[in-house]
Structure 1
Amino acid sequence: MSTLHKDAVGVLESWHAPDAGQDELRREYLAHLAAHSDGMEKLCKAGHLTGSVLILDAERQHVLLTLHAKLKLWLQTGGHCEPADTSLSGAALREGTEESGIRGLDLLVPGPVNLDRHLVPCAWHLDVQYAAVAPPGAVESISDESLALRWFTFDEVAELPDRSVRTLVARTRALL
């Protein structure tokens, strides 16, 4: 069992879910990891854990979303864990940095903010979602995984079609 797999189990075992639905997902993620030693890896066709991060500006008034190149939706940054990742939060922050170009992201809280399971072309993603704050003066730069990057107000996010992004933003706002 990899260090990343052990970290994910520890994160999920210690996480206090905000409601019964999130707690059920937490238990399902743990059962998946118990059944699949490769459950953190993209090659696990039964599904795999991913790490994502909602990036807040330093003033905590806007969130940075990426127009995903393949899915054509405005989403938080994130994606697959890599073999060099040793923690789930580290994987989420790495993905956030790669996709936003912003260095020095700082987690809003140490643990996840939300869990979201969704089907994408490669398999089920069991996404563990974090929130992070960008340093003052941070300037984003687009990656090849994105068609665009944009700072949204909380009210603008409420108008987006993707339920998972709206939920993640609402749960993050509750922590502010």
Structure 2
Amino acid sequence: MSLHDDAVLVLKGYEDQGQLRQLYLDHLAAHPDGMWKACGAGHVTASALVVDPERGRVLLTLHKKLGRWLQMGGHCEPGDPTLASAALREAEEESGISGLTLVPGGPVRLDRHPIPAPCHWHLDVQYAALAPAGSVAEISDESLDLRWFPYDEVAGVADESVVRLLQRTRAGL
């Protein structure tokens, strides 16, 4: 099964955000290259919010290009067998934490956001990942900073997309 096919199955099984979910499915139906950065109409990305529920905190990265505190995530790569594995790979690469595990149940939410040309949209499929006990984060070259934030401080540093992702993640834990 291709990554494109996996994404279609994941999205068909996702039961929330019906209108946005359908937009993602329509995009993939119209664009066989819709998983890849080269697709100028936009592309599916995968991200994961790294959480430490025992300490009531979340790990965010200060994105180098955007200058905003975000969850870990990014572009799918040809070696990614599934959308979930792409999200987990991105989270491990950007957090420096090995042994992350995705919260069961599939994606937590979807978020479509504009990005600068040549591509115009990221159709982000957002997961949540649990950090193992005693995790030590290490900043990657994709970040300006990497920091743990208590749940109640996230709204003060991150945009509404991250706040909604945290709310949905916490509701599912």
Partner Cα separation in structure 2 for residue 108 and residue 59 of structure 1: 14
Number of residue pairs the alignment of both structures matches: 171
Identity of aligned residues (%): 63
Deviation at 1:60, TM superposition (A): 5.6
TM-score, normalised to structure 1's length?
A: 0.94
CA gap of 1:60–1:133, structure 2 versus 1, over 3 A, is farther
Q: Name the residue aligned to 1:145.
A: 142
2:64 to 65, 69, 73: 69
Q: Which runs of 5+ in 2 are unaligned?
A: none
Separation in structure 2 between the aligned mates of residue 78 and residue 138 of structure 1, nearest angstrom:
18
CA RMSD of aligned residues (A): 1.2
Q: How far apart in 1 are the matches of 2:69 and 2:38? A: 25
* 1:12-91 alignment runs, 5 A limit: 12-17=11-16, 22-57=17-52, 59=54, 61-91=56-86
* Rounded Cα–Cα distance in structure 2 between residues aligned with 1:58 and 1:34: 37
- Shift of residue 51 of structure 1? 0.1
**Which letter does structure 1 place at the counterpart of 2:9?**
G
Amino acid across the alignment from 1:64: L
2: CA distance, partners of 1:130 / 1:38: 22
What is the match of residue 173 of structure 1? 170
| 1:35-60 deviation line (CA, Å, top 9, x unaligned) | 00000000001000000000012616
Q: CA deviation at 1:110?
A: 3.1
Runs of 4+ in 1 over 3 A off after TM superposition: none
Q: Are residue 4 (structure 1) and residue 3 (structure 2) matched?
A: yes
Q: TM-score, normalised by structure 2?
A: 0.95
